[in-house]
Structure 1
Amino acid sequence: MSNSIFSDEIIREGVAQYGTPFWLYDRATIEKRVQELKCFDTVRFAQKACPNLSIISLIKKCGAVVDAVSAGEIVRALRAGFKGDESDKQVPQIVYTADIFDRDALELVKKYNIHVNVGSADMIQQLADAGVKSNLTLRVNPGFGHGHSQKTNTGGPLSKHGVWHSQIKDCVKLAQANGMWITGLHMHIGSGSDFEHLSKVCDAMRDASRRLGSHLRVISAGGGLPIPYKESEKGNRIDVKAYYDLWDKARKDIAQSIGHDVALEVEPGRYLVAESAVLVAEIRAVKFQEDKLFYLVDAGFNDLVRPSFYGSYHAISIVSKDGRKLDSEKDVIVAGPLCESGDVFTQEEGGFVVTRKLPEAKVGDFLVLHDAGAYGSAMSSNYNSRRYAPEILLSNGELHVIRERQTFEQLMENEKIIAL
């Protein structure tokens, strides 16, 4: 597969300047994806997909707002220039969406007047106990879900997310008893939603809206818009207009039933950033295990965990270090440096290791994992005491560091050796 965003020269330049592994983002791709969703009244970025401050700031410049699922994400949003101070007259720039409040999050919500998308009745009561009186959005579990993996299914009786659909009225009563109104409804059933499932969600939203009545002001379609990870899927991108039209019809039906207009939000994470980034690693060993050819690289699941955790597919390409032409493809297993058998990039859900057709490569060549901008760097860890890789943004033809490589000192800066 050819690198459709970054030239081989850019990859080599990045390696020369920053070493490997590193994340490389393309500003233009993110801007394009935000623009594609501007048919919705509000585009709200699910920053958990890629919470780098420069990326969030870029999203803001594009005219989108942000979702936060933790205290840390509220702080990131504020640092990137988004404001709290939620009011009836404007779209909240930050919405806190979660199934619980930890104490830090509740404190920040109160301090900065952050709009809350509640996922349980207990959250409503905890807001009231904290002296907060504000409009709320209610995340509803419609009783079913969908996703490319069971771990991304966010609806149904086995999902922890949202308020069960039959409990909506109880939440409305609890909110009103404490001087709060539920003015928004949010429904997100999982990633990779297809239109058959989407139409069911729209019907569930219509049903939920009838339990709120005239106080409803906003409905949120949630996220989950898929992107084509495989080359065979590239010609079959999600039809954004058809996606919007389904939700717009639901919005209009709801507006007609309650007698006033209702705003329509979408909450993408993956869709805005996944295709914008690659993870670049160096091949450090080429070896056979019996008849199986392995490329071992200096990035592991501490960097990109999706293949190990979900069995996710990421396209892979090779960039030669010396500029030579690459051909004669081989069946290859690509694995990382960690002291873990599961540290393999070419595996399927369930941990089944598979091969990938890749050019014949040498130690010192560069291996590129594509479409890694969503839940890539965001899910990185320090496992095996590996340092966080730097993040680089390509903007107007120039490379900019948006996160430095973690130092060994930073890796251990919060630890202490005590006298035992």
Structure 2
Amino acid sequence: MNSAFYSGPVFAMARQQFVDVSDYLEIQPDERDRLLYPKRAIAVSCPIHRDNGETAVFQGFRVQHHLTLGPTKGGTRFSPTLEIGEVAALAVWMSWKCALAGLPYGGAKGGVAVDPFALSRREMEALSRRYMQEMIPFVGSHIDVMAPDMGTNEQVMAWFMDTYSMYKGSTVNEIVTGKPVFAGGTAGRREATGRGVVHLIGRAMEHLRIEPAGATAIVQGFGNVGAVAAACLVERGVRVTGISDHTIAYFDPKGFDVAAAQAHVAETGVLRGFADYAAIDPQQLLCQRCDVLIPAAVECVITEDNAARLECRILAEAANGPTTPGADKIIAESGTDIFVIPDILCNAGGVIVSYFEWVQGLQRVFWDEAEVVERLYRVLDRSFEQVIRRAERDCVTNRNSALAIGVDKVRAAKASRGLFP
């Protein structure tokens, strides 16, 4: 297949990971394109009226990787650098993530190329509603279910749901997940990814015989996922010595008051100004000594340039695709014995609880937060144990083990159903 349509470094990374795991699984060449390349890619124009009276047009995308196991599922991000290759890569990773967790979904991803911080609330609502309006022919509660991602939130999901529901003529809760609880969302969804990250860090610490009390952690990316993860680590006795966002990075071996940092971000919108005495170059933050390093921001932050300088014991990938294949190779061959919790396992808490929200919406029966969290941890424990067993059995990396489990499930489903789905 001519792959020029899906270009860019992020898709190249997803493709290389797939090639590596396909070699390990001995997948035949004529099977590979069908497993890797998306079933459907949509590009739309989203015109809105700006507050100054001008008309602006933003480019929107949605990629649906496969529909073999059920509807597609994936987030919607608003980012100024968003392009189709990145969206496709995120959809592919979501497929393997859902399959690893045993969810009845294919992967999807979407979004708009826009800086959400440059929009007023009214403009944000106009763009959110226009994007969903353009997507209506391609989505549905049994076709493709959206969720929040970088640059979007519960409010955007509520606007999505309302726009779709107005078109249908009745409330359709299950068309999106990550909604406010009072608009049909589920308790615990906002915290799910961060909680899941820390639960898996706890499992890794048990595996490596590291005591949480007195351990240290660095969180790169103090957004929803990173901030929740940092707070949950503190609850377990871990000292958070490094935090960062897109405006500033801080490092202090004595640790930070995470609750105070969260309050500062809630008030100002950014981390800058919280602890400027501890400012450090963002690239250097990743290379400071710690027990746990959590990249929770964007793709491709751990590369061939810095992988050999990592000084962590556990690398917990809360972001999608934070580690390049070249960096993976350096980590695996470095002899530093870094325990990687790969992204499709580490940040799966969000999509798992999104699945719970979808099921509750379909059934109109809702669970309390304790039940949601218990079910979340049960799924994560099962996935963690499968990944560790396979990695040890076949002497492969945790990443290839996790990817192999996901790819194998999708491959088997496609083989059983035939050519069309």
**Would you call these one fold, judging by a TM-score over 0.5?**
no
Task: Please say which structure displays the higher CA radius of gyration.
Answer: 1
Normalised to the residue count of structure 1, the TM-score between the two structures is 0.32
Give the helix-richer structure, 1 or 2.
2
- Structure 2-normalised TM-score? 0.32
